[in-house]
Amino acid sequence: MKHIELTLRGLPLDYQMANAIARAVALQLETEPTLVAWHDAPEGRMSPVIEGADVQSRWQDYGEAHGGDFAVSINGDYDFIFADSSRYETLEHSPYVALRDSQGHEFLCLAEHLRDPANPRQEACFAVDESVMGGLHEG
């Protein structure tokens, strides 16, 4: 895996800014860069979230084991591992869409049965969090 280390000065840097910079670098290096894992040292966060894992290293192990081609580290505080997804087959048009209702609940819906994308209905959707299902609108 290639490692790219960037040092930036004179710019207020947070996770969002570091992510945008890392993605810009990734677009120059890969045909279809896909973020596989990341680490936000100042906030003590990582993705994927792995219960009980070492926040300082587990994200890197995961990224390397799941196809990471290169890593971008910014100021040693923000780390991103990317893979080139162009070598994988893509799904053609899916009959399903992912939606959120006004309360932020997530649903997977069959698009052809959905009248209003802002109103997930029981006959067209199922809740990603099953405890929400009873709160679906009927029309």
In this structure, the number of other CB atoms found within 10 A of the CB of residue 107 comes to 23
pLDDT-derived band at 132 (thresholds 50, 70, 90) equals very low
The secondary element (H helix, E strand) that includes residue 100 is strand 96-100
Query: What confidence tens digit (pLDDT) does each residue in 15-60 have?
Result: 999 999 999 999 998 878 999 999 999 999 999 987 787 878 888 9
Residue 81 CA from chain centroid, whole number:
12
Q: Output the six-digit token pair for 91.
A: 């799904």
Q: Using the predicted structure, report yes or no on whether residue 131 has a pLDDT greater than 80.
A: no
Query: What confidence tens digit (pLDDT) does each residue in 81-121 have?
Result: 999 888 776 666 678 888 887 777 888 888 877 777 667 77
What's the mean pLDDT in 5-11? Answer: 94
